[in-house]
A and B are shown apart, each in its own frame.
Chain A
Amino acid sequence: MICFGRSGIKMIRSRGIRALTVRPVKVNQSVSRIHTGKVSLASDRRSNSTSTTHSGVGVAGTVGGTGTVSQSSRGIQKELVFPGSIRSQFTTQLNFNDPSEATPMPTYRLIDLDGHQLDPEYKIPFDKEKSLKMYRDMLTVSIMDSIMYDAQRQGRLSFYMVSAGEEGAAVGSAAALEPHDVMFCQYREQGAILYRGVTLKEFMSQLYANADDYGQGRNMPVHYQSEKFNIHPISSPLATQIPHAAGAAYALKIRNKDNNEPDSGCVICYFGEGAASEGDFHAALNIAATRACPVIFFCRNNGYAISTPSLEQYKGDGIASRGVGYGIDTIRVDGNDLAAVHRVTREARKLAVENQRPVLIEAMSYRVSHHSTSDDSFAYRSKTEVEDWKRRDNPLARMRKWLELKDWWSEDLEQQTRKEIRREILSEMAAAEKRKKPSLDQIFNGVYSELTEPLKRQREELKEILDTYPEHYDLSHYEKGREGLN
């Protein structure tokens, strides 16, 4: 019991208060009037909704800009018609919504830990070829991770981040997209990037920051991009890409406004549960909802943000519960279950493209690896915890079991494929390592579209230094050496 102010109203926390917020609400006259005014772009985004669970929320965007909301003068008011909350019913019960009493959003799963399909009604839409590509891509990322991790440890690479435990979420979601869909990543989505078609040579060029790197050796390793596959350049600041994704999705929407293509594409944006604490996450989901942008927000909830466990990251029902608050269709999925991730992403894509609105997916998984090569995760979690996860559940093992039950895979194929992949990676790695760094003019190029006067002068200054003290610098590793600056 809590006393509320001087009025002394007694408030009792009731059980099952959540029921109030999900009860379907009749639309009365006073509410429908709101929709007769000038309707904003976002107003029709609920009309094709297949979701009934959020019927009490998500319409807040529809009154934007109308300014015509008024109280009904007829009869007894049952619903709130304040402009800020148009479908709330009045109540004389004073109850706080207690999040601890709400049922957490369930996690969608399709394949169990032994590789058996749980829902026989659904036909998993991949043939043998696609299944094996997905599995091979997961395997490739996993092997590349262990090789590159060691390479960094030997000092052959400045930095690396593995994605162990999250290969399924990355490959499964990417496999559900179309090639013209636009991708924004955080940094642990190697599987998605590989699935799209980026080659091992391209991966290695980026990691070794050599002359073949599209980013001209300017960014840290693992900050991949691909113009060909619509993958925007990764940057280190967390969550900044989330509003970018909303804006890019809006660009797709605008482009399509006249030609009404059947599939105008969508944007997918990956981020971790830690990044979701940044202000940019909030800003992005809110603006994507109000502008009705065709974007899939894909959260990888792997339990840790470097050393911070998710229990210290948030107090609510994960990231998924927040999506509902923004009026966004939301689903939680087993991130170790590639088939489930694939199905969920496929459906999310349909919602985003056909209904032009954002969708949030929270994929639950476990970060098996250290955060990065600069992190020793055993400083904040036990080895047994990690070993336990590796043994109990991981996306590769689960998919392998599923493939074996279909007779599409075997131990022999596994060994042979692993060997093949390993050989291919090592050969690309050696080639990338030998390749020279980009030419020195790339220091100044790309800051602006053109070389500005101050940059031209500063380039001259560097030339003077290099020519005056040639013995102080080794330019032999750079494309064209000293000439590269001319």
Chain B
Amino acid sequence: MNAVLRRTAPRLSSRAILPSRYIGLRRFSAIPESSPNHINLSEASFLARSSRTALSNTELSDLAKNGASKSMNLYQSVNDALRIALETDDTAVLLGEDVAFGGVFRCSMGLQEQFGSQRVFNTPLSEQGLVGFAIGYAAMNQTAIAEIQFADYVFPAFDQIVNEAAKYRYRSNTFNCGGLTIRMPCGGVGHGAMYHSQSGEAFFSHCPGLKVVIPRSPLQAKGLLLASIRDPNPVIFMEPKILYRASVEHVPLEDYELPLGKAEIIRPGSDVTLIGYGTQLYHMQAAADLAKEKLGGVSCEIIDLRTIVPWDRQTVFDSVNKTGRVVICHEAARSNGVGAELAAEIQENCFLRLESPIQRVTGWDTHVALSFESFQLPDVTRTFHAIKKSLNF
């Protein structure tokens, strides 16, 4: 029943605080065995459990559909995407703290051996430096893939991202740094506390000029990451770190991209629309199952937003206009979070169809605390409760 995250990495940076053997959330949490909040991240039904399921994904290119697939976890699919990106673009470089030996989360394993130390390299420990460097590299019409070791440490580079990367094209109209992608592990991991748990997507989603993408699974991660790297705009690509090892599915081996700016309905339904992204999808799905069981067969439509900026308004509005009820989920704090933007736009565009107030299931307006994470991040219970409130209004 646990989300098993077992580390095999022999070397970790001082920042990689995960212990070498990490058995589930239970040891650190107050969740009893019988709680519906014990979800197995590798058993979510939206994961492609077979080659056939993976290759029948309608969004895949014909090349990918007719190729083979392999079972991968999320870090392996990120690694696969990075390998393809470096193979298909001679100008592409991968840089960051500790990426050369494979990265503290193993995402860049084997890449320096394959592509050489000129294209895959460690940078000094300076987020503003490595992001600024990547912007300059991309501004020469080349491809830069920068890694921030944890999304919690992106803030020293905030100026470079917001004032420079996001505005390069606008201020110039001639030059741009669209070849830039900044990857960063994000989100709660059970025991990451304040500086290994953050989800800063709302900070970036307030800044015109950036795209923000968060995948939910290995197949999605590969396609969205390749699309992000090749998108002609700077992209913030946030990888939920709890999924690196826990989320496993069949991933097509060929080169394929999934569209940015397009949400995906991962379960159609008619009574309530659940909107979320990243790890929340696993909790939302379990909550939808629970609601179906406990609330007389209530049918939830589950939408994975995938791209936070620019988000897929049409898919969201169509769904809300059908169901009339909305629950929005994210780990990040509530106030001025992505949920606030979604709720405001839904209210404006689906006003006559809404049958109950829009519910937001989010992190509290606190920081993530080591001992209290299971009470802080939204879980199945809170999502279920929000569905109930929405229906009972």
Taking beta carbons and an 8 Å cutoff, which residues of A are in contact with B?
40-41, 64-65, 182, 184, 214-216, 218-219, 223, 225, 227, 232-233, 235, 237, 240, 242-255, 257, 279-280, 282-284, 286-287, 290-291, 442, 445-449, 452-454
In the complex, A4→B151 CA distance in Å? 41
| Residues in A neighbouring B19, C-beta threshold 8 A | none
Is B169 located at the chain interface by the 8 A CB criterion? Answer: yes
* Nearest CB in chain B: distance from A221 CB, A: 13
7 residue pairs bridging A and B, Cβ less than 8 Å apart: A246-B132, A248-B136, A250-B136, A254-B118, A254-B142, A283-B126, A453-B261
In the complex, per-residue mask of B249-261: 1 if CB is within 8 Å of any chain A CB, else 0? 0000000000001
User: Which of B91, B137, B138, B159 lies at the interface centre, i.e. has the most chain A CB atoms within 10 A of its CB?
Assistant: B137
Contact B313 A453 (CB under 8 A): yes
Q: What's the A-B contact tally at a CB cutoff of 8 Å?
A: 159
* Nearest CB in chain A: distance from B34 CB, A: 45
The stretch from B67-75, B170-178, B192-200, B380-388 touching chain A is B170-178
Is B10 located at the chain interface by the 8 A CB criterion? Answer: no
Taking beta carbons and an 8 Å cutoff, which residues of B are in contact with A?
91, 93, 100, 117-119, 121-124, 126, 128-140, 142, 144, 156, 159-160, 163-164, 167-176, 178, 208-209, 211, 232-233, 261, 310, 313
CB-nearest residue of chain A to B210? A448
| Residues in B neighbouring A233, C-beta threshold 8 A | 168, 171-172, 174-175
| Residues in B neighbouring A184, C-beta threshold 8 A | 136
Indicate whether A280 sits within 8 Å of B128 (C-beta atoms), given known contacts A243-B135, A448-B233. Answer: yes
Contact B209 A448 (CB under 8 A): yes
Contact A219 B171 (CB under 8 A): yes
In the complex, A473→B119 CA distance in Å? 52
In the complex, A280→B127 CA distance in Å? 10
| Residues in B neighbouring A255, C-beta threshold 8 A | 91, 142
Contact B142 A240 (CB under 8 A): no
CB-nearest residue of chain A to B133? A247
| Residues in A neighbouring B211, C-beta threshold 8 A | 448
Contact B164 A244 (CB under 8 A): yes
Contact A223 B139 (CB under 8 A): no
CB-nearest residue of chain B to A244? B136
* Nearest CB in chain A: distance from B59 CB, A: 19
Contact A248 B140 (CB under 8 A): yes
* Nearest CB in chain B: distance from A241 CB, A: 8
Contact B163 A235 (CB under 8 A): yes
In the complex, A245→B140 CA distance in Å? 10
| Residues in A neighbouring B131, C-beta threshold 8 A | 243
Residue in B119, B128, B132 whose beta carbon sits within 8 Å of that of A247 in the complex: B132
In the complex, A215→B172 CA distance in Å? 5
Contact B209 A447 (CB under 8 A): yes
CB-nearest residue of chain A to B162? A237
Contact A279 B170 (CB under 8 A): no
| Residues in A neighbouring B117, C-beta threshold 8 A | 40-41, 65
Indicate whether A446 sits within 8 Å of B169 (C-beta atoms), given known contacts A233-B174, A248-B140. Answer: yes
* Nearest CB in chain B: distance from A185 CB, A: 13
Contact B171 A215 (CB under 8 A): yes
* Nearest CB in chain A: distance from B335 CB, A: 22
In the complex, A286→B128 CA distance in Å? 12
In the complex, A257→B91 CA distance in Å? 11
| Residues in B neighbouring A218, C-beta threshold 8 A | 170-171, 173
In the complex, A347→B232 CA distance in Å? 37
